[in-house]
């Protein structure tokens, strides 16, 4: 074997070893670093709205109870025989338990909105658990039953948190599909029109019973929604009404006709109805 051939084989062997070493020290491929989906294949946990057969909607109020505004809102609801769901903050529950008791007596639903309204999506599990457990205990002490629904403040929650919260507390996570941004205090008229324009059957409407302009907006909002035929139920009642979405209709688009073969005369058009053929 010539010296040139020996040197060539040696060089090839050296490059092969270097390439293998570089591959073993390289970072993992995207497939190994991609986050693993934690969404379960079981029952639905999170709801923004539902498909219902009928003009049913749920209106919800966050952040209370408020010492004066929540009772005013309860008066408005009672006058119209409407139901609502209140996502309450634990600190306020401890301060105003009698307001919760009145809400339950009048047919409304009480749900958890955490203890102190933090961003749960940015918290560790222990902190989230304390927020929810303290609120759960406060609601139980005030009205005798524990909540079955929870809304994360700001709607902020991770997919993994949803799963363990559901497993630990049994909560269904309620978001919304109608948001008038009333916390920005755009004025009663703007709040009313946004809710009225965006509400559809099965909607979950978000509002806050701690802002005076929101309470001012509610009489016109309630009246206009009722004039449109909407019926108000609690969130739990709305979820119980949920039905599967109907299947999409089959496509009615006909495939294009094949082009006639070369040298073939096109077919004559069909005669108009009532016209003799030939």
Q: Is residue 142 part of a domain?
A: yes
Tens place of pLDDT per residue across the chain (278 aa): 444 444 444 444 444 444 344 333 333 322 222 222 333 457 899 999 999 999 999 999 999 999 999 999 999 999 999 999 999 999 999 999 999 999 999 999 999 999 999 999 999 999 999 999 999 999 999 999 999 999 999 999 999 999 999 999 999 999 999 999 999 999 999 999 999 999 999 999 999 999 999 999 999 999 999 999 999 999 999 999 999 988 877 665 565 655 555 554 444 444 444 433 33
Catalytic residue positions?
Answer: 62, 208
Q: Is residue 248 part of a domain?
A: no
**Residue-number span of the structural domain to which 87 is assigned:** 46-240
Q: Is residue 41 part of a domain?
A: no
Q: Is residue 224 part of a domain?
A: yes
Q: Is residue 124 part of a domain?
A: yes
- CATH code, 220: 3.20.20.370
Q: Is residue 1 part of a domain?
A: no
Domain count, the chain: 1
Q: Is residue 93 part of a domain?
A: yes
Residue 61 pairs in a beta bridge with 86, 207
Q: Is residue 58 part of a domain?
A: yes
Q: Which of these, 180, 157, 184, 181, lies nearest to 169 by C-alpha position?
A: 157
Q: Which of these, 242, 46, 20, 3, lies nearest to 157 by C-alpha position?
A: 46
pTM of the predicted structure, to 2 decimals? 0.76
* 212-227 vs 69-80: helix crossing angle, rounded to 10: 10
């Amino acid at each position: 074997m010539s010296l040139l051939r020996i040197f060539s084989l040696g060089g090839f062997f050296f490059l092969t070893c270097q390439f293998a070493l570089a591959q073993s020290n390289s970072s993992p491929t995207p497939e190994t670093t991609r986050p693993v989906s934690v969404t379960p294949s079981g029952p639905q946990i999170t709801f923004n709205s539902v498909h219902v057969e009928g003009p049913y909607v749920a209106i919800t109020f966050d952040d209370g109870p408020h010492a004066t505004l929540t009772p005013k809102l309860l008066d408005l609801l009672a006058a119209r025989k409407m139901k609502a769901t209140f996502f309450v903050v634990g600190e306020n529950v401890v301060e105003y338990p009698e307001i919760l008791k009145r809400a339950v007596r009048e047919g409304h639903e009480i749900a958890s909105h955490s203890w102190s309204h933090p961003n749960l999506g940015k918290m560790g599990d222990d902190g989230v658990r304390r927020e929810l457990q303290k609120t759960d205990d406060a609601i139980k002490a005030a009205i005798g039953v524990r909540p079955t629904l929870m809304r994360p403040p700001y709607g902020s929650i991770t997919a993994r948190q949803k799963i363990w919260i559901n497993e630990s507390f049994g909560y269904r996570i309620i978001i919304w599909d109608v948001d008038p941004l009333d916390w920005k205090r755009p004025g009663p008229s703007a709040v009313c029109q946004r809710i009225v324009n965006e509400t559809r059957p099965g909607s979950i409407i978000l509002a806050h019973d701690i802002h005076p302009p929101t309470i001012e907006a509610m009489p016109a909002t309630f009246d206009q929604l009722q004039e449109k035929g909407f019926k108000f139920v609690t969130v739990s009642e709305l979820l119980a009404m949920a039905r599967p979405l109907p299947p999409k209709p089959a496509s009615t688009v006909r495939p294009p006709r094949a082009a006639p073969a070369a040298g073939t005369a096109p077919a004559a058009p069909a005669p108009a109805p009532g016209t003799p053929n030939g």
